[in-house]
Amino acid sequence: MVSCNPPLCSWRTIIRVPLIISLPGVVPQKRVVTKIARGLDIMPTIFDVLGLSVPTHLEGRSLLPLIDDAETGPERSAFASSSYQGYQADHPENIVDYMRAVRSKDWKLFYRIWNLKTEEFFLYALSTDPQEQRDVKHLYPAKFLEMKALLFEWINHSKTVVVPDEPDNRSLITRLSDGYDVFFADEAIEALIKKAPSPPKITYPQNGAVIGFDDTQGNLKISWTGIKGVPYLVDIVGGTGSNKLDTQFKSNTPWIEKKITKDYWNEYVILYQPVKVRVKINRPDHHWGEWVTFKTR
């Protein structure tokens, strides 16, 4: 899945990126593999390196065979999916304009649909047209039908994939992703946590504030009562509808800040109105502080 601004989504300039793997003793240094590698191959590769069986619901395949011998095994096809709303889409059911693509070694089929009605297909011969400038589906009708069948096989299969509920594993992943550092507790950190105000109270921006680029020179900052070295979790919710942001950040200081250009501020930051922020000490037994709401202009 990719997310970007139209009209570039799913084009080669966006989705063709290098994958660099460093694993001394397992991956030979300076080995270059020209065959297709996909994002969904990374997790099976990790399982393979660890000597674990790959869960059946994972769609990718380990990259180790390609690393060991790039000439073995069939070529892999890669798929891409996005929408014109990209990451701003509020719910998949509300997406009416979207893109799908399939890429093999020498061919790329791009599929675009508008308002759930109008369909467009573009076939590119990558060996002679790496920048995807010339649609050749009418010149190669058999290849077009072959790539189209491959694409729709994947689309239909994706609708049937069900990730099994594995409570034990998911509990571990959830605790780690929430940043509770369950297995890396440090006595000094725990001592700081006992001294820190909980729940934290946001000190900047003030509730109801309106913040402009010129007010901050692009230095967007959120601060709260706390102690440096204490792990915090910051919850940020902004915007509504198609312009909705819901994310969390971790911080070991009682503030987070980011330097933003004026163009980025005017194009993206002001989309998410209003913004709500709350903070907690990043431990399960600590509670969230109160929400603070502000706007950007």
**128-157: b or e for each residue (b if 16 or more CB lie within 10 Å)?**
eeeebeebbbeeeeebbeebbebbeebeee
Residues 6+ apart with CB under 8 A from 45: 21, 60, 62, 63, 64
H-run or E-run covering 167: helix 167-177
| Cβ atoms of 76 and 38 closer than 8 Å | yes
Quote the tokens at residue 52: 């674990």
| Cβ atoms of 234 and 199 closer than 8 Å | no
Question: Is the pTM above the cut of 0.75?
Answer: no
Among residues of the chain, what percentage have pLDDT more than 90? Answer: 19
Q: What is the CB neighbour count within 10 angstroms for residue 227?
A: 16
Confidence of residue 74 (pLDDT cuts 50, 70, 90): low
Higher-confidence residue: 139 or 94?
139
Q: Per residue in 158-195, pLDDT tens?
A: 777 666 655 444 444 444 444 444 334 467 788 888 88
Query: What residue has token string 């037994």?
Result: 285
| Cβ atoms of 101 and 110 closer than 8 Å | yes
Q: pLDDT value at position 85?
A: 61
Give the gyration radius of the chain's Cα atoms: 24
Q: Per residue in 18-59, pLDDT tens?
A: 888 888 877 888 888 888 888 888 998 888 888 888 887 788
C-alpha span between 121 and 111 (Å, rounded): 5
Query: What residue has token string 């619901």?
Result: 57
Identify the bridge partners of residue 114 per DSSP, sorted by sequence position. Answer: 118
**Domains identified in the chain and CATH numbers:** 12-158 (3.30.1120.10), 184-296 (2.60.40.10)
C-alpha span between 289 and 286 (Å, rounded): 9
Q: Per residue in 232-265, pLDDT tens?
A: 989 888 877 767 777 888 888 899 888 888 887 7
Nearest to 178 by CA among 290, 289, 284, 287: 284
